[in-house]
Structures are given as C-alpha cells and as structure tokens.
Amino acid sequence: MKLFKLALLVLPIFMFGSSISQAQCPKLVWADEFDGTTLDLQKWTHQLGGGGWGNNELQNYRPENTTLENGLLKITAKRENFSGNAYTSSRIRSINKGDFTYGRMEARIKLPYGQGIWPAFWMMPTDDKYGTWPKSGELDIMEFIGREPKIIYGTIHFGPDWPNNKSSGGAYDAYREDFSKEYHTYAVEWEPNEIRWYIDDFLYSTKRPTDVAPERWPFDQRFHFILNLAVGGTWPGSPDGSTVFPQVLEVDYVRVYDTRTQSLSGPRSVPFKAPFTVYTINGSSSGDKITWEVPAGAEITSGQGTSNLAIKWGSTGGEVKANIENVCGKKEVKVYVRVEPGIAKEKALENFDDASPLKLVYYDGTFADNFANPAKTGINTTSLVGKYTRSGSTQYDVLIYEGNPISDLGPYVQKQRKFFLDVYTNAAIGTEVLFQAENSARAKQSYPSGRHSRYQGFTTKQNEWERMELIYLDRPDAGTSASSVDRYVLLFKPNTFSNNIYHFDNLDSYAPQLTGVRDALVAADQVFRLSPNPGRNELRLENIGTQNLVQATLLGLDGKILQTHAVPILPAQIQEFNVRALPLGSYFLQVLRADGKVAVRQWVKGN
C-alpha cells in the first residue's frame, strides 16, 4: 500500500506556475505513512477531553482510541461511558511538529458512516496572528456527516467573532456509492490568494480573497493538521437507533508536496443529452501524453490527445477518464458524470392564472398582482402574470414567498428536480435572477444561516418571454436541512441599484419523466397511501382503492429498484417496507394495479 517512507521536514511551501515542468514535478516534503505500531509523537499530539468542543459534541477524546494497524491510522468512535460522556473517540494534531504555509496537502481516507458521525481532516492556524477563531482562519480539507453519506464538504472559516463568524465552501456529491465504501484521496492545493479542493484529483471548489471580502483573507500564515472523529454535534445531530458502533476513520497516509499535480475539472452533472461539455486536465504541459476514455453512450467530439476534451452525452452517464504520461510519471484521473433525467412539469409554485401554494409576504419594489400579459406569444400565452418594478434604492431587492409545497429540497440540489421561471424584462441580456430556498427561523440570523440552497439564471432575451432554468448554485448553510425549507426568495439583478421592470410567471417545479408507463398512469391519491411521509425507519403502503395491487416497487430518484413486493395487496390491506438502512432523501413508490394501470407517489426519508 505504501510507496515510500520519508523523514520529517517542517518547511514553508510555495507553489509556482500553472503547468508542471520537469523541474517542477511535485516533491514530497512531509509525510506520515503510519507504518509503525504506535502513533509517531514526533509528528502528532493528542487532544484530549470532552465538553462539547464548541459544537455540542458528545464524545470524550482519548489516546486509546488511536491505533496503528497494517499501515493504517485508525481512529475509533465507541459507545462507552467515560468521564461524563456517552461516547469516546480520538483527535490528533500536528501543531509545532508539522506546520505549513502553502503547498498540496492530501490524505487517503476511508470514512465511517451513520447518523451522528462526523469525521474531519482539517487545518487550523498555528500562531493565531489575526486573533482567535475565526479571525485567523480555519481550512477544512474534508468534512463529512453521516446523515449525508454521499456528500463531502470543503470549507474556509473567517471573519469576526461568533455569532457573526463567516464561512465559504463547496460540496462534492458522489452520486453513486457513499464515501464509506472505499478509500478516497482528499486534498487542497493552497497558494497565495487561492485554495483549491480535490477529491481523487478532481477539482470541485476554489476560493480566493474575493470570496471573503470585505473580511480579511487570513490564509497566509502557518497552519497545522487535525484528524478527528466526532460523535454528535449541532451540525450532524446525535446518533440514533440506526447508528452502529464502533465506527472507524481509517487513514492510509497524510502527505504534503511543494507544488500542484495534474487534476481534472469539468461538469459532474450534465443535462439530458447535453450536446457539448468540456473536461480539462489542469496543470498539464506541452510534453504530456493524454489519452481520454468516455462511457458508452457518450461521444468525443474533439480534443482526444489534448488537455481539453469535448463530449456529447446521451441519456446515461459514466466515468470520464484521462491517462497522463509525462516526465513525472504516469497517472490516471477520472470522475463519474451523471446525466440528468429528462424532466417534465410537476407542480406550479407561482402561477397568476391559478391558485398558488406560495404566499407573497414582502417585496422591496413595486408589485402588481394578476397583471395583463404584455405579450401573449411564444412560450407564455397566459392572460395574467406578475409585474415587478425593482427598487432602485435597494442593493439586494427581494420578493419573499412563504409556504412549504416541497417536502425535500435534496433532489433539487442533486439536479434530479429543477426550477423554471418565465421572465419578460426590459433589463439587458445577461441579467442575473437568483432564487433562494430558506428556513425562515434560521434565516433571522446573519447570512448564510438558514439559506439552504440557491439557484441562478441569466436572461438571454430582452422584451420577450423566455423560460429560464434556475440552475443549482450552492448551499450557503449546510446546517439547514432539506426538509425544513418554508420560505423562497426571488432576487432580480441582486447587488445592484437598478430599477428595471420584470414580468414573471410559471415558477414551476420539474421532475423526472417516468418513461414507459406515462400512458398508464393514474392518480395515486385514489390508489394508495404512504405513511409516515416524511418518515424515518418505517414505511407503510395502504391500498385505499377498490382493486388489488399486484406489485409495489420502491425506487431511487435515478430509477434504480431498491425493493419489490410481488404478493398482491388487497383493498384496505397494509404492506410494510424495511427502509431503516436507506440514506436520507427522496424515493418513488410505484404500484401496479390489477387492471395494468400504474400509480406513483414520492416518499421522503427525513430527519
């Protein structure tokens, strides 16, 4: 498993250039391969104790929970009482033994799993030059919470003292198996004025001083590593009956290099049959030999042998791979790309010709409800629309809607469901439209608290109707759950003092088409009932119709069959499904009636 061993070097590291030449092949300057039988205390120090660690955590950190075995560091979380805590675990750091300013920091890690489990590989300032947390910064290379088994977070913390502290980060969704199934390499490449996050050499997030402005960019000082496995806390929540103990964080190695390596970037989720997407090898040089591979159903349209590949996608996704040979050696980089399903309108959130499930409760500008359509042509021929004149004196002009017509925003973040909006405006082409999903109680705090997710579109027409896709942008507050959203905010041309007029209509939710059975669909509310919904560890299907249900199938949003019940369910009969092991999220329950008709309902496994 290990390629080498290296003695400790504690050096400041600087990175140069955008490509890798022979003189700039990455050089290892610090590493722990964990090949011994005990933790190397020349590189690491234990942090001990309980007390919540500022996050309401439930564990007590003990050195006994850190072990080395078969070339692996293992940090084990146990359900056991110790010194007033119900759980024990371990936390180690490299302060004053491995401190760095700039470079590539990486660790190969296999993660634990389960509700309430919170492992992290992160860095903190060694000298606190700019003050106590978060003024001197925090750099989270990898954070993972067990209730979201397919998502990794990379974040920086900065700004004034709590509760006005700030953060900015990115997230990586595996789309397939969760991160506890195998080892992955988590890394940052940290340069002056830029930090980049990677998983298995795929670039998924970049932060610069402009992302923290007007606050100080504190990432120009010495930082040290921390590896820990927390149990419980404000963000992940507490363990429950589904959480298995012990849980183990396994670390193959931690390494620091003096410069960047080749990496892959490009879209990881593409529209159905996307005609043109580009993937790039970053850090390549003219002497590199690059060979690309794409999955079945995808077509290379240009770029084979170069650092930029264009792909035409079909209806299915798969792995995009690049094999690279150069003076530094050989390596393979790859990423799984998901093709989004074909979609169709599912429900209207704001429609001026019909009743709406959302209620407009506040706006900064001037709003005219049920206004005559200024141009009943093209994609919008309805009679009534909304007319909004933006306030020219308000930098972040908002229209705020309240209501909870969507029980789970998770599929929207994963681009399995989408928002669309019809827009007609006199604003210039390229005007930004922002749509924000929030929890009203948490949003009373400073931004980004309470802002679950944001969706963004840009106009492509002027004084003409267009149907705009509001594309998922980011998750400002990872602590706001997908099932708690009860407020939606619409912003036309935010961060300006413009006063253009916007006619808008058909704020709609679109869902995957159920191909192959569309003609046979019947209304589910006359066929069967699901309870509880949202639920947690149990799901009951009740036949409320007059015909037998000859088959019931539980599916993921990607159409994958998870469970099938083939014994007839008689009228008024209840069938239970074992859903305890399923991750949180949304699912479909599809039933086949005796007359050959199909009915489908959505079921949400929530907190």
Give the burial string for 55-67 (b: 16+ CB within 10 Å, else e). eebbbbbbeebbb
Q: In this structure, are 202 and 101 located in the same domain? A: yes
Among the candidates 288, 318, 339, a domain finishes at 339
CATH of residue 226's domain is 2.60.120.200
Could you say which of 33, 57, 106, 138 is catalytic?
Answer: 138
Domain presence at residue 6: no
Question: 501 and 356 in one domain?
Answer: yes
CATH code (residue 472): 2.60.120.430
Residues with Cβ within 8 Å of residue 574, at least 6 apart in sequence: 540, 541, 542, 543
Task: Please tell me whether residues 379 and 289 are part of one structural domain.
Answer: no
Note whether 347 and 457 are same-domain residues. yes
Say what the pLDDT of residue 526 is. 86
Return d(Cα 264, Cα 196) in angstroms, integer.
12
Q: Tell me if 123 is assigned to some domain.
A: yes
269 and 416 part of one domain: no
Judge residue 451's burial from the number of C-beta atoms within 10 Å of its C-beta, 0-12 exposed, 13-18 middle, 19 or more buried.
buried
CA distances to 55, 270, 290, 442, 498 from 312, rounded to whole Å, are 46, 10, 19, 42, 39
Supply the DSSP string of 398-438, one letter for each residue: -EEEE----S--HHHHTTSSEEEEEEEESSPTT-EEEEEEE
Residues 359 and 474 in one domain: yes
In a domain, 10, yes or no: no
pLDDT of residue 176: 82
Same domain? 351 vs 305:
no
The pLDDT value given to residue 525: 84
Structure tokens at 391: 């306030």
Domain identity same for 45 and 63: yes
- Residue 447, helix vs strand vs coil: coil
d(CA 144, CA 354): 43
Q: How far apart are CA 181 and CA 172, in angstroms?
A: 16
Q: Tell whether 241 is covered by a domain.
A: yes
**Angle at Cα 158 formed by Cα 478 and Cα 136, nearest 5°?**
140
- DSSP, collapsed to helix, strand or coil, labels residue 89 as strand
Q: Is 1 part of a structural domain of the chain?
A: no
So what's the pLDDT on residue 516?
Answer: 38
Instruction: Tell me, yes or no, whether 333 and 347 share the same domain.
Output: no
**What is the predicted pLDDT for the residue at 5?**
32
One domain, residues 473 and 581: no
Q: Is residue 143 annotated as a catalytic residue, yes or no?
A: yes
User: Which residue range forms the structural domain that includes residue 492?
Assistant: 343-512
64 lies in some domain: yes
CA 537 from centroid of its chain's CA atoms: 24
Do 120 and 172 fall into the same domain?
yes
Of 312, 339, 366, the domain-final residue: 339
Three-class SS state of 581:
coil
Q: What is the pLDDT of residues 127-164, one digit of tens each?
A: 999 999 999 999 999 999 999 999 999 999 999 999 99
- CA-closest candidate to residue 528, choices 462, 434, 597: 597
> 73, 94, 67: which is closest to 8 by C-alpha?
94
Residues 222 and 146 in one domain: yes
Say what the pLDDT of residue 274 is: 85
Show the low-confidence residues of the chain (pLDDT under 50).
1-23, 515-519
Residue 366: the pLDDT is: 97
Domain-embedded: residue 392? yes
d(CA 162, CA 76): 30
Neighbours of 370 (CB within 10 A): 11
Read out DSSP for 106-146? EEEEE---STTEEEEEEEEESS-TT-STTTT-EEEEEE--T
DSSP state of 215: S
What tokens appear for 388 in the block?
A: 């909004």
To the query of whether residue 464 is one of the catalytic residues in this protein, the response is no
Within 8 A by CB and 6+ apart from 70, the residues are none
The confidence score (pLDDT) of residue 72 equals 98
pLDDT score at 559: 61
User: Is residue 16 a part of any domain in this protein?
Assistant: no
**Number of structural domains in the chain:** 4
Catalytic residue among 33, 57, 106, 143: 143
CATH code, domain carrying 537: 2.60.40.10
Cα 109 to the center of its chain, rounded Å: 19
From 305, 339, 373, give the residue that closes a domain.
339
Q: Which amino acid is at 502?
A: Y
